[in-house]
């Protein structure tokens, strides 16, 4: 029996102890506040619609999509989208960080990749490969570890043979480093970016919820937080709420401005 991992969660994907397993119910709980920008929502909805019409696609001899690649900066919702897919498909999510399966013996790494895909073939799930660039890097970029290109070949083969009721989702923020052949294997791609005005406002509404706040705070704060990722906005809002709670008053723009300053989101630092 595998020991509980440091996060207290049992890896239940048998044979691949580097994976973390989430039930559809756990996934649904995580995505209660997801904001998908219109273009990505459309892509996800179409992807899911097709998966629910398998027979029709078989009749027309048109293959169904089952591999989705997400790329873009940190904190913009790539991992969250994988949870969302699992929740909507009512499938478990099997999360594998590819950097965690790299072994000093590269033969082991290839064998780990194979095991993961074998698992997904046998047990319907959303197989989520996070930190995808760790293995799927351009073969030319892997000079120092020539052997690594063999692992990329294994990955290509696994992607080619991927079939059945599982879906493969992969995420990276180093998309330019991905091997061209790997890139081509993904039938669906989604680009993530810092939230636009509308998405930011929608997210602020969800985060503020029933919390009492000064008038106009949402719109003013949303404008101030332009350039922040969803993850930054969440942390800043939490900080601001704490300030309001300590002083037992409504959330103010000042709380958000101070929290923004204290939190120092990465994008804001770069822009300075």
Ligand X SMILES: Nc1ncnc2c1ncn2[C@@H]1O[C@H](COP(=O)(O)OP(=O)(O)OP(=O)(O)O)[C@@H](O)[C@H]1O
Q: Which residues bind ligand X (CB under 6 A)?
A: 33-35, 74-80, 171, 173, 192, 203, 230-231, 234
Q: Is residue 76 close enough to count as binding Mg ion by CB under 5 A?
A: no
Question: Nearer Cβ to Mg ion, position 97 or 121?
Answer: 97
| Rounded Cα distance, 267 and 272, in Å | 9
Question: Nearer Cβ to ligand X, position 75 or 92?
Answer: 75
Question: Nearer Cβ to ligand X, position 149 or 229?
Answer: 229
Give min distance, CB of 3 to ligand X, in A.
Answer: 25
| Rounded Cα distance, 129 and 110, in Å | 14
- The radius of gyration of the chain from alpha carbons, rounded to an integer in Å, stands at 21
Give min distance, CB of 72 to ligand X, in A.
Answer: 7
Q: Identify the three-state secondary structure at position 112.
A: helix
Question: Nearer Cβ to ligand X, position 110 or 182?
Answer: 182
Q: Is residue 81 close enough to count as binding Mg ion by CB under 5 A?
A: no
| Rounded Cα distance, 183 and 177, in Å | 10
| Rounded Cα distance, 157 and 167, in Å | 16
Question: Nearer Cβ to ligand X, position 76 or 259?
Answer: 76
* Beta bridge partner(s), residue 189: 69
Give min distance, CB of 20 to Mg ion, in A.
Answer: 13
Selected range binding Mg ion among 48-56, 72-80, 180-188, 204-212, rule: CB under 5 A: 72-80
Helix residue ranges per DSSP H, the chain: 24-30, 38-51, 54-59, 78-89, 106-122, 133-136, 148-160, 180-185, 197-208, 217-224, 230-246, 253-263, 266-271
Q: Is residue 20 close enough to count as binding Mg ion by CB under 5 A?
A: no
Q: Which residue has the tokens 């459309």?
A: 42
In 10 A of CB 45, how many CB atoms?
12
Give min distance, CB of 171 to Mg ion, in A.
Answer: 5
Answer with the entry of Mg ion, ligand X, none that 230 interacts with (C-beta below 5 to 8 A by kind). ligand X
- C-alpha dihedral over 253, 257, 262, 266, to 10 degrees? 130
**CA pseudo-torsion sign 118, 119, 125, 126:** negative
Give min distance, CB of 53 to Mg ion, in A.
Answer: 29
Give min distance, CB of 19 to ligand X, in A.
Answer: 16
Q: Is residue 79 close enough to count as binding Mg ion by CB under 5 A?
A: yes
Answer with the entry of Mg ion, ligand X, none that 48 interacts with (C-beta below 5 to 8 A by kind). none
Question: Nearer Cβ to ligand X, position 80 or 134?
Answer: 80
Footprint (CB under 5 A) of Mg ion, residues 131-160: none
Q: Which residues bind Mg ion (CB under 5 A)?
A: 78-79
């Amino acid at each position: 029996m595998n020991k509980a991992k440091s996060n207290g969660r049992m890896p239940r994907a048998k044979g691949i102890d580097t994976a973390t397993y989430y039930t559809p119910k756990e996934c649904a709980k995580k995505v209660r506040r997801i904001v998908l920008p219109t273009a990505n929502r459309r892509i996800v909805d179409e992807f899911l619609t097709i998966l629910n019409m398998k027979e029709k696609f078989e009749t027309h001899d048109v293959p169904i999509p089952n591999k989705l690649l997400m790329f873009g900066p940190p904190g913009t919702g790539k991992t969250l989208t994988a949870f969302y897919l699992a929740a909507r498909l009512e499938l478990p999510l099997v999360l594998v960080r590819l950097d965690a399966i790299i072994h000093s013996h590269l033969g082991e790494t290839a064998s780990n990749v194979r095991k993961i895909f074998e698992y997904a073939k046998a047990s319907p799930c959303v197989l989520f490969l996070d930190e995808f660039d760790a293995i799927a890097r351009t073969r030319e970029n892997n000079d120092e570890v020539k052997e690594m290109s063999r692992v990329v070949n294994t990955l290509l083969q696994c992607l080619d043979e991927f079939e059945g009721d599982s879906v493969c989702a992969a995420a990276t923020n180093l998309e330019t480093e991905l091997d061209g052949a790997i890139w081509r294997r993904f039938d669906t791609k989604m680009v993530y970016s810092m939230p636009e005005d509308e998405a930011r406002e929608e997210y602020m509404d969800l985060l503020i919820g029933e919390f009492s706040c000064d008038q106009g705070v949402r719109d003013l704060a949303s404008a101030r937080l332009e350039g922040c990722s969803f993850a930054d906005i969440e942390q800043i809002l939490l900080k601001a709420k704490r300030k309001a709670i300590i002083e037992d008053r409504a959330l103010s723009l000042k709380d958000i401005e101070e929290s923004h300053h204290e939190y120092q989101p990465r994008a804001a630092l770069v822009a300075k």
